[in-house]
């Protein structure tokens, strides 16, 4: 068993380390001192000298002496944290530079020992440790020290609940570090730190990522990793690909076996919008800020200066809808959409096909996700979309048709919807007259189980007028489509159809 350390032994430690003694003798002396530290309390009178000696050994050019000195220093920190923390706190400012240096060591062993020593010192001198980690390790020049500092920060937060708010600015800078490993470590650290943070903190993080101009790939990876779990079972792309399930109606299926598979118009391939990646929000305020920021782009007429910002904003709304805005923050989301309705309609009516497609795609996806919650916006949208369906640009016309059909299939039925269909049936252009038959069939499929409501609001009379008008249309394509609509009508109101 090793003897307890004495003042003379500690004085000899410094002397031999500074002498020309053989390396083996120095290592053996330090090893004996380490054994004394491990097995006995350290006399207070020799603490300062002992620290000086072990710091000197730990800074040696010889690896074996560094190993002996740094492991002994680690044991000394542990011993004094239990024996007399005040003695340890006095030595913290002079010991921390060495620990920060070892955070950047090539050997994992020394980096681990440095992190452990920092943990020990943080118990007695937390302010000193945090200052050195933030200003010397994280803001320093050595990549490994930066990584080690982030590992320490994460470990302290997870094990001891260390607040990390003060480290966010330097972490944002490390996300753009010149070293790829540092960037990866920073990304992982940010994700792990914010995983259990409140939503307000996550919202603030998104603003910081923007303010520090973090590269988009890293920003998106962090935001995606911190996105709320769960979500809607139906994605927007599903809404495009599939018609909503309808109540089974045996009499209609038997009478018109081909109704379910016949489509009024086959959409053009390039009239389809691409699916988007979800974008998640954490607070009502964050969602409000997004709407407020994009409102400026929709003021006035469309121009070369604002059309791309408009398209990006509509894309943002699509991503929010694909995320959690429509489910977790529906009231704020719908309110924001209503305030942006004029801008959405401007996008739909844009002469730029890409912007018009984005606008129509947004409305289709909103119809799928919001359903009846979209009712207050339907009238203005229908006015614009029915008009757009009569346009000469085929892609825009097709998109308007698909969008009207999606709205009708999802929102609450009212007489105004039938009046829009009747208006389209009388249009001078053939496209809306053709589309109107498909819209009529969609209403029939959707409202077959709610006949009384349609009858009491005059909807059946308008349906009859649409069918009579279509059957007598000068265009053979319209007449053909109307015959299909007639049989759908007959399946629900056979007596009225036979009359």
* The pLDDT of residue 199: 87
pLDDT score for 264: 39
Please indicate whether residue 320 or residue 264 has the higher confidence score (pLDDT).
Answer: 320
pLDDT over 60 at 112, yes or no:
yes
At residue 451, the pLDDT reads: 81
Instruction: Count Cβ neighbours within 10 Å for each residue of 177-199 and write b for 16 or more, e otherwise.
Output: beeeebbebbbbbbbebbeebeb
Give the DSSP letter string of 309-335: HHHHHHHHHHHHHHTTHHHHSHHHHHH
Give pTM, 2 decimals. Answer: 0.66
The pLDDT score that the predictor gives to residue 259 is: 38
Kindly give the interhelix angle for 415-425 and 459-471, rounded to the nearest 10 degrees.
10
Averaged pLDDT for residues 56-62? 92
For the chain, give the percent of residues with pLDDT over 70: 91
pLDDT, residue 458, reads 86
Range with the largest mean pLDDT of 131-145, 226-240, 336-350: 336-350
Confidence bin at 234 (pLDDT 50/70/90) = very low
236 vs 438, higher pLDDT: 438
Of 178-187, 227-236, 293-302, where does mean pLDDT reach its minimum? 227-236
Residue 268 pLDDT greater than 50, yes or no: no
> What's the pLDDT tens digit per position in 347-406?
999 999 999 999 999 999 999 999 999 999 999 999 999 999 999 899 999 999 999 999
Mean pLDDT (whole number) for 280-290: 92
Residue 283 CA to residue 346 CA, distance in Å, equals 28
> Residue 148 — pLDDT band, cuts 50, 70, 90?
very high
- Predicted confidence (pLDDT) per residue in 16-54, tens digit: 998 888 999 999 999 999 998 988 898 899 899 999 999
Asked whether the beta carbons of 53 and 14 are under 8 A apart, the reply is yes
| Torsion on CA atoms 361, 367, 370, 375, rounded to nearest 10 | 130
HSE toward the beta carbon, residue 460, CA cutoff 13 A: 17
pLDDT, position 65: 94
Q: CA 121 from chain center: how many Å?
A: 37
Per-residue b or e along 274-301, where b marks 16 or more CB atoms closer than 10 Å to that residue's CB: ebbebbbbbbbebbbebbeebeebbeee
Position 106 scores a pLDDT of 87
- For 184-214, the pLDDT digits (tens) are 999 999 999 999 888 889 989 998 999 999 9
């Amino acid at each position: 068993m090793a003897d307890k350390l004495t003042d003379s032994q500690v004085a000899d430690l410094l002397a031999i380390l500074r002498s020309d003694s053989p390396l083996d003798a120095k290592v053996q002396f330090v090893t004996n001192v380490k054994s004394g530290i491990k097995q006995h309390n350290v006399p207070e009178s020799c603490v300062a000298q002992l620290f000086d000696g072990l710091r000197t050994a730990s800074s040696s050019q010889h690896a074996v002496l560094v190993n002996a000195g740094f492991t002994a220093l680690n044991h000394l920190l542990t011993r004094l944290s239990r024996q007399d923390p005040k003695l340890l706190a006095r030595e913290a400012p002079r010991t921390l530079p060495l620990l920060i240096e070892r955070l950047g060591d090539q050997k994992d062993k020394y980096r681990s020992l440095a992190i452990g020593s920092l943990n020990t010192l943080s118990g007695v001198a937390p302010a000193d440790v945090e200052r050195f980690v933030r200003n010397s390790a994280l803001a320093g020049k050595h990549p490994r020290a930066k990584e080690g500092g982030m590992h320490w920060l994460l470990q302290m937060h997870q094990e001891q609940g260390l607040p990390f708010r003060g480290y966010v600015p330097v972490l944002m800078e490390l996300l753009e570090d010149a070293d790829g490993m540092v960037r990866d470590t920073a990304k992982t650290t940010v994700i792990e730190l914010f995983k259990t943070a409140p939503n307000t903190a996550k919202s603030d993080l998104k603003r910081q990522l923007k303010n520090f101009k973090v590269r988009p790939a890293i920003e998106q990876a962090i935001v995606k990793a911190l996105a709320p779990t769960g979500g809607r079972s139906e994605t927007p792309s599903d809404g495009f690909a599939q018609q909503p399930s309808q109540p089974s109606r045996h009499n209609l299926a038997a009478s018109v076996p081909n109704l379910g598979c016949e489509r009024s118009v086959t959409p053009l391939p390039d009239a389809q919008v691409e699916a988007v990646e979800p974008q998640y929000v954490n607070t009502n305020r964050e969602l409000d800020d997004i709407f407020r920021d994009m409102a400026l782009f929709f003021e006035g007429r469309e121009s070369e200066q604002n059309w791309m910002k408009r398209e990006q904003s509509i894309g943002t709304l699509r991503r929010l809808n694909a995320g959690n805005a429509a489910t977790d923050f529906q009231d704020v989301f719908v309110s924001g959409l209503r305030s942006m309705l004029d801008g959405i309609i401007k996008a739909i009516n844009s002469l730029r096909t890409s912007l018009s497609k984005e606008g129509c795609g947004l409305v289709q996806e909103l119809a799928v996700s919001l359903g009846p919650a979209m009712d207050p916006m339907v009238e203005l949208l229908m006015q614009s979309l029915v008009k757009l369906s009569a346009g000469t640009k085929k892609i825009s016309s097709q998109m308007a048709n698909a969008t009207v059909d999606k709205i009708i299939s999802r929102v609450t039925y009212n007489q105004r919807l039938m009046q829009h269909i009747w208006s389209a049936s009388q249009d001078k252009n053939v496209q809306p007259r053709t589309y109107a038959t498909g819209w009529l069939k969609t209403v029939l499929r959707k409202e077959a189980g709610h006949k009384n409501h349609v009858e009491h609001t005059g909807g059946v009379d308008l349906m009859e007028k649409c069918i009579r008008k279509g059957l007598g249309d000068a265009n053979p394509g319209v007449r053909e489509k109307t015959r299909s609509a007639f049989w759908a009508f007959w399946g629900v109101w056979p007596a009225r159809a036979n009359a």
